Structure formats: structure tokens, C-alpha cells
Amino acid sequence: MENVVVKELILKPDVTGMRLDIFVAGAKVDLTRSQAQRLIEAGLVLVGGLPRKANYKLRPGDEISLTVPEAEPPKAEPQNIPLDILYEDAEVIVINKPPGLVVHPAAGNYDGTLVNALLYHCGKLSSIGGDFRPGIVHRIDKDTSGVIVAAKTDRAHTALAAGFKRHEHSREYLAVVVGNPKDTEATVTVSIGRHITDRKKMSAVTFRGRTATTHYKVLERYGSAALLSLRLATGRTHQIRVHMAHIGLPLAGDRTYGGPNAGKLLGMKVPRQMLHARMLGFRHPATGEYMEFTAEIPPDMARLLDFLRNKKN
């Protein structure tokens, strides 16, 4: 990040009492008022070393400091990154995404993403997602592995997006959870929205949640852990991770929603949340044919399952 630090003693009568966002926008760092407000909301503007709200009224002696992030690059660029391709034609491409690969460029991850790899391999993707998300119809988290489809043409993108919105697709995930589920099969229906205090997280305890439903089935039990098959009736951000944590079955390795002990399970280190998009089914955007693709679990998840099975025995 580029650190642009502004330090001024607020002594002038015409500045005292001014809103913080208005002052920041006029601080000669080429920011609009809306940009200034976003910096303030992100905690990048400090008054006397402390974050303040946009409507904070400046006082004599206040010292203001702000950090302005680097400007975003104009668009995603092609990069030669290996892909595990499950299917490809002129309209779509289906990938088995490895854990650790970010789906599309964003703040802090402008390259090395699935989009960069797809642009190199395909040459061109659907333009509907814009410069940073070309071809991206849906996404899975960086540390979640498994099947994801991307659109090569605008026609394919529009048709796939409509199918996802109408819930015409099929999705199955595999997850290792900490705890022993009471029921062999169950459904979790709990609204999900932004966390009340941590805006980077989602939560089942929120002011403006959207209804979310997850169906799960226990495939294997290991005493203090279990392997679940999960199917989504909705597609909210972090839905499986939030729902499982909400019912006391956090995903193994999920440090965001599983707490400080999520990194170890029965003494074995778990490097990421153990969530794998095993199956994705959808209607082909050109032919209307239903197509279904599956991906084997990645090596790190396979090692954890072998460890749990051996511990059980």
C-alpha cells in the first residue's frame, strides 16, 4: 500500500467543527467525498491515533492521519498458471480449483488468480463480469477446493447466471467438521448477513440477513469429528461455514468461524477450512443439456481423512 500521511493541527476557525469526511476529501490527496468515506469505514483514517466516524466533528489540536491504498490495475492480465480442466467447449470451461487459488482479482490479490489463468488459457472470457471478473458466474472461497464453471461468451454467462438464480443447478460439498452431529441428516435454515462489528465476516446474527438453507448428511463419524455431504438450497457468501459454526459444528481448519482451535484436529495440523466442492451440475447454456461434473478431494483433505480413520480404529 502507498502510505499518504496527512498531519495537521486543526486550529483554524473555518476548519474546527468540519466533518471528518469533508476534511479528508479536501486534504489534497485526490479523494472524492465518497472515497474518503470508504477509507474512514475501512479504519484507514485516524484522529489522534484512533478511528472515527465520517460525521466526526474536528476539534482544535486534532491530528489526522490516513492511508490511501494503491490504485487498482486497469484489468486482469493473462498468466500461465496450470489448470485442472474437467470440461471445455466454445461456451464454458469447468475447472477443479485447488485450495489456495483466489477466483478473481481484488484488493491484495491482483494477479495469480483463476481469472488470470483462464485468460491465458482461453484468450477471451465473457465480458459481463467486467475487467476483474471476466467469465466468473459464481465463486468459491480461496481455501475451498473443487468444481467451478466459467463462461467464455456473454450468452453463456447470461444463461448460467439465470440458472443459478432460479436454483436450477446442483451442488454438493464435502466438509470435515469438528464435533459429532446429533442427526444423520438435517437441514439448517438460518438467515445470513454481514457481521455486526466485523464487516469482513458473515454471521447468522445480523441486522439484515437473507434466508439461507443448507442440507447436510453424515457420511462418516470419527468421534470428535465427522465427514459431511452438504447441498445448498441458496448461495450466500460463506454459507456452509457460517451455518456449520452456528450449529456448533465448525469446519476443521476454519480459523475465521471456527475459533482459535480450528487449526488442529486430534493433534493434526489443519492448514485451511476442509471444504471441497465435489459436484456441480447445470444446464449447458447453448444446448440446454444437463451436465454434471465431479472432482476428487485434494491431497491435504485426503490425508486428514486417512488420519481420522486411523485414529478411529
| Catalytic annotation, residues | 141
Report the distance separating Cα 12 and Cα 17, nearest Å: 10
* Cross-strand partners of 225: 178
Cα 285 to Cα 92, 127, 140, 159, 164: the distances in Å are 8, 16, 21, 5, 12
Report the distance separating Cα 240 and Cα 243, nearest Å: 5
Phi, psi of 34 (to 5 degrees): -65, -40
Report the distance separating Cα 107 and Cα 189, nearest Å: 32
DSSP string, 279-304: EEEEE-TTT--EEEEE-PPPHHHHHH
Report the distance separating Cα 305 and Cα 128, nearest Å: 40
Cα 158 to Cα 76, 81, 85: the distances in Å are 21, 27, 22
Could you tell me whether strands 64-66 and 45-47 are parallel, antiparallel, or unpaired per DSSP bridges? Answer: antiparallel
Contacts of 218 (CB under 8 A, 6+ apart): 181, 183, 184, 185, 226, 227, 228
Place of cell 479504519: 43
